[in-house]
Amino acid sequence: MIRKPKLPELEATLGELVLDLLRAPRLYPEMVCSAPVDSRGEVSPDAVRVTQHYVAGLLAYGFGVADSDLQDATMWFATEFPNAYRSRVDSVEMTRLEALLLLDAPEDDILPRLEQLARQRTVDGDHFVIEGRGSDFDTLWSLKVMLLARQRNILNNLVDLEQLRRLSGRIITTSHLDKDVALALRLRYELAGRLRRTQLQTLQRLLHVAERTGGMWGLDRDMLWVTDALRSQNLTAGDFASQREVLREMILSTCYVIENLMPLLPDHPEVEAPVRDAMTLWWGIFQGRNAVTTLHALFPSPYDYLLILARTLVAVRAYLGQPLIQWGSSYVYHLQAGQELPQVANPDRASILQTLRNWLRLDLVGDLERLHLGMSDSDIVRIRPRVWNPMVPEEAGYVTVPYADSLVVKFGPADEINRERANYSQLPNSIRRCFAHIPESSYIDSRGRAFLVLQDLLHYRTLVEMLRQVPQARESINREIGPFLLWMHQGQGRAAGQASDGPVWELYLLPMQRHIGRIFSYIQDNGLLDRRKLEEAHILKQTLLGLIGDLVRYQIKLEGFPVAYMHGDLHSRNIMVYRRRANERGTDDAELDFKLIDLEKFRLDGDAALDAGQLLADLWLVASSLKSANDRRPLENLSAVIEDAYAGFAAERGDTTFSIRRQLAQARALIRVAKGRTKVGAAALQESRRAPAITVAHEVLGYAREAATHLEAVAAALRDTPLR
């Protein structure tokens, strides 16, 4: 048993925390067991996530699944599955499945989801696919749920136990976030009963993380001052406000690590000291009768506050090794006996809040300004919100919202928008500043479209716009873009793991094969070209498919490359650039600030070569559309700079096939652009406009020929590359 000191003011602190958690369904009805947001009965993904954490917090305190609050939650989670809108287990259904398992719900509510999850395993058996990308986190989460099902004896041989053990060992080597590594180690320990030598080395590295950061997990090297300030109690409210996202991730990561390392303690006593130090450091920030007030002040967002509250209770439960009710029940009883806790919420509160919402009128100034997007199915507009304050005289009633006089609203299919938000939440702190901020809140309308309010990069230009419109910035772009992109790919110089088998097919060959069918169906089925051109198109299609067939045979030569953080859709319109004034430059004296947008395809375990190839292909496309050599030259110079930067990046990491994969990515990008253009052509045909449709057909053939040139170079290089 861990020799842990009793946490100061334990009874009072736990009593305050659990009482506020019990109030959560009444105080935050939009977050806990919320009402549907549309006519389909859908609820906010945030509410599903928060309610699952609420359940985990109550269970950690010691409530039984038969308790009325938890029974209400069970009924709320037990929606019909599959239904008219959901047939796959996505992130929302995974959260429901995990909650239902924790709540010991009836098997009829669990098994349909569990059986479908088992069907979402890849053919090679090495991944589960939840959100369409089959990331390592998808697999890790699936293993966690499968283990819960096994503990309930309802796994029913859906997945072989030995396969789960093997997967749990592999996932340790490919997990990067501290909290994910801790969970992977726990799963392996519980499935196999022990950790192997290499897994013990991973455990040691995780423990050393807390030693390097001063006692916490989930913190970047450039933020180490935070733990010093926490320890000396010199972290001000202003520090929390300016670094709230970093602190939120640090605290959540630390709570998850504590929860998942404690089960290892009987066989691994070295876990004791780091866990004790982390628990006491975080506890010291809010302990006492003002714990709730302190946490509210630190994390005013209901979403953040409820997550921190619940995960703290779960971590303390793991740390103490027994239900928290044994420590805090007497305090709760005395509060209730003294009528310090209202037994029922004031029924007028919700009505008063709605009255205020109706009283404060919200409006938009001017028309929606539609902004250009790439090839996703989402749309994006700029808005200028104003609030009407009835207490202000008529002529001055409209008030600009501070820091939000101009905003961007992105909307589209809910799964696509939610995937972008989920990807943003996965971003390591070391690279989060590379991306435009994406908040948690969104709205889903009756058509199933999710709406997301985003930071407006009003003073930023796209990369090409800055290159064209601000010639004096070209030198700075060429100097600074390489370091920025490489920072995004590797964060704070993390050690690169090796890609598992299969990503070359998944990332490159499969998408190209799918798009080629779409491209040539458009050309051949609509009678847009004369006979000679149609014959050329048929030959080109066979050439492309033949080259991809060759690459399938050679792809093993490309496997095992060093993984990197990957944007997944990197082109010049997704790189925003702002030229800083002299007084805005930091200590590095960088003239430019870069922000990346559109995160639907971000991966923690991706390939930097895919981003490099896609960006270079995009710059080539832009340059080829310009007639003047003088206009093309800045783009060509920038392309050369980017090629050199990535060549150095590959050499530094010992990535010997990077340049081949980059060429493969260029071919993939051109084929994807060609497929995207067929949508424009098809729309023209629907409107009986054949001339633009014919123009698109010629464009598409040109892109396909250029892609074939890249594929031929890749095939030739691979023929001469020995197996490693």
pLDDT beyond 80 at 328: no
Q: How confident is the model at residue 560 (pLDDT cuts 50, 70, 90)?
A: confident
Whether residues 125 and 186 share a domain: the answer is: yes
- What's the confidence (pLDDT) of residue 571? 95
- Is 92 within the bounds of a domain? yes
Indicate the range of 70-84, 125-139, 362-376, 604-618 predicted with least confidence.
362-376
Give residue-wise pLDDT tens across range 19-29.
Answer: 899 989 988 88
- Is 343 within the bounds of a domain? no
396 CB burial (10 A radius; 0-12, 13-18, 19+): exposed
- What's the confidence (pLDDT) of residue 403? 61
Q: Which of 337, 360, 381 is the last residue of a domain?
A: 337
- What's the confidence (pLDDT) of residue 376? 55
Whether residues 287 and 374 share a domain: the answer is: no
Q: Which of 31, 133, 39 is nearest to 90 (CA)?
A: 133
CATH number at residue 358: 3.30.200
Average pLDDT over residues 356-363: 77
- What's the confidence (pLDDT) of residue 329? 67
Q: How confident is the model at residue 627 (pLDDT cuts 50, 70, 90)?
A: confident
The DSSP secondary-structure symbol of 381 reads E
Average pLDDT over residues 401-406: 70
Whether residues 307 and 331 share a domain: the answer is: yes
Average pLDDT over residues 556-585: 88
- For residues 402 and 126, which has the higher predicted lDDT (pLDDT)? 126
pLDDT beyond 70 at 402: no
Q: How confident is the model at residue 241 (pLDDT cuts 50, 70, 90)?
A: low
Q: Which of 281, 305, 337 is the last residue of a domain?
A: 337
pLDDT beyond 50 at 344: no
Average pLDDT over residues 506-523: 91
Give residue-wise pLDDT tens across range 436-462.
Answer: 888 765 677 777 788 888 878 878 899
- Is 2 within the bounds of a domain? no
Whether residues 468 and 406 share a domain: the answer is: no
Which residue matches tokens 């084929």? 671
Q: State the Cα torsion 369-370-374-377 to the nearest 10°.
A: 130
Indicate the range of 64-68, 201-205, 234-238, 249-253 predicted with least confidence.
234-238
Whether residues 288 and 429 share a domain: the answer is: no
- For residues 393 and 119, which has the higher predicted lDDT (pLDDT)? 119
Whether residues 556 and 662 share a domain: the answer is: yes
- Contact at 8 Å (CB) between 184 and 171? yes
Mean per-residue pLDDT of the chain: 86
The number of angstroms, rounded, from the C-alpha of 194 to the middle of its chain's C-alpha atoms is: 31
Alpha helix positions (H), 30-106: 45-61, 68-77, 91-102
Q: Which of 337, 369, 387 is the last residue of a domain?
A: 337
Q: State the Cα torsion 216-222-226-232 to the nearest 10°.
A: 100
Whether residues 422 and 516 share a domain: the answer is: no
Predicted model pTM: 0.58
- Is 4 within the bounds of a domain? no
Whether residues 710 and 568 share a domain: the answer is: yes
Whether residues 531 and 669 share a domain: the answer is: yes
- What's the confidence (pLDDT) of residue 222? 62
Give residue-wise pLDDT tens across range 533-543.
Answer: 999 999 999 99
Average pLDDT over residues 39-62: 90
Structural domain for 693, as ranges: 461-719
Indicate the range of 84-88, 202-206, 443-447, 527-531 predicted with least confidence.
443-447
pLDDT beyond 70 at 587: no
CATH number at residue 662: 3.90.1200
- For residues 441 and 664, which has the higher predicted lDDT (pLDDT)? 664
- What's the confidence (pLDDT) of residue 2? 45
- Contact at 8 Å (CB) between 310 and 32? no
pLDDT beyond 80 at 423: yes
Q: How confident is the model at residue 372 (pLDDT cuts 50, 70, 90)?
A: low
- Is 299 within the bounds of a domain? yes
Q: How many CB atoms lie within 10 A of CB 157?
A: 7
Whether residues 299 and 364 share a domain: the answer is: no
Q: How confident is the model at residue 339 (pLDDT cuts 50, 70, 90)?
A: very low
Q: How many CB atoms lie within 10 A of CB 653?
A: 17
- Is 319 within the bounds of a domain? yes
Indicate the range of 158-162, 248-252, 421-425 predicted with least confidence.
421-425
**How many C-alpha atoms does 260 have within 13 Å on its Cβ side?**
23
Cα(321)–Cα(428) distance, integer angstroms: 30
Distances, alpha carbon 533 to alpha carbons 501, 519, 670, 704, in Å: 40, 14, 20, 13
- What's the confidence (pLDDT) of residue 341? 42
- What's the confidence (pLDDT) of residue 490? 87
- Is 431 within the bounds of a domain? yes
Whether residues 442 and 470 share a domain: the answer is: no
- What's the confidence (pLDDT) of residue 688? 87
- Is 1 within the bounds of a domain? no
Whether residues 189 and 220 share a domain: the answer is: yes
- What's the confidence (pLDDT) of residue 393? 63
CATH number at residue 247: 1.50.10
- Contact at 8 Å (CB) between 49 and 304? no
Total domain count for the chain?
3
